[in-house]
Amino acid sequence: MAVEPTPGPRRRLAGATAVLALLAGCATRTPPPENAPPPAPPCASGERLPVGQTCSLRIDSAQRDTPLPLVLAPGDRYRVELPGGQLWRDAGQALVDPLQGDNGADNPVMRWFSSLKRLPAEPYMVAGLAQDGGPPVRIGAPGLTLVVAQYGPVNFFANDVWPMHCNNSGRVWVTVRRLAAEP
């Protein structure tokens, strides 16, 4: 007697197929045009940024993490901003501004995995940052103040589902300005 597969295994099979299709897309992505860098110099590896100075960092959407290479100390305060008018995209999707992101409403696979995004409540492809051991946060307009809580890396990212960063394309710039310590 034929037995109909239950919805559970069928959904899992569809999910696995979707993952394979997305990973296969990693080899064929076409990069979008490069976004213009802001005027601030690049954040240099091993640099302790003086108070009041600004540097720029390029976030690669195809990497799970783009580390901030500055030397950081607990209590440091930084203003992180995302200049407008930049574009990147997820595989097969339209170019989007990382301040807006991509809700993936027209893509069944993106809808399927939406709750597994690094920032589940935010659209795909918004930009975010996470301190080591801390919760990830979205970088919106007009930006955010980062207070370093502990020694350890600060990482920037495009909001996506691990390991599906590899099929993203495009890199956007953020600026990082060191603020004076809290009075």
- Kindly indicate which of the ranges 12-20, 89-97, 115-123, 174-182 contains the residues binding Ca ion, using the contact rule CB under 5 A: 89-97
At 59, is the secondary structure helix, strand, or coil? strand
Q: Does 164 bind Ca ion (CB under 5 A)?
A: yes
Q: Which of 113, 160, 125 is nearest to 15 (CA)?
A: 113
In 111-120, which positions are buried (b, 16+ CB within 10 angstroms) versus exposed (e)? ebbbeebbbe
In angstroms, what is the minimal distance from the CB of 78 to Ca ion? 28
- Work out whether 110 is an interface residue with Ca ion (CB under 5 A): no
Our CB check for Ca ion shows the closer of 60 and 160 to be 160
* H or E element that contains 10: helix 7-24
Phi-psi region of 164 (alpha: psi -120 to 50; beta: other; left: phi over 0): alpha
CA-to-CA separations, 5 to 10, 15, 77, in angstroms, rounded: 7, 15, 55
Q: How many residues bind Ca ion (CB under 5 A)?
A: 5
Quick one: which segment of 34-42, 82-90, 99-107, 143-151 binds Ca ion (CB under 5 A)?
A: 82-90
Indicate the residue whose CB is closest to Ca ion.
164
Instruction: Please identify which residue in 160, 170, 174, 176 interacts with Ca ion, judged by CB under 5 A.
Output: 160
Q: Which of 131, 155, 159, 167 binds Ca ion (CB under 5 A)?
A: 167
Binding site for Ca ion (CB under 5 A): 90, 160, 164, 167-168
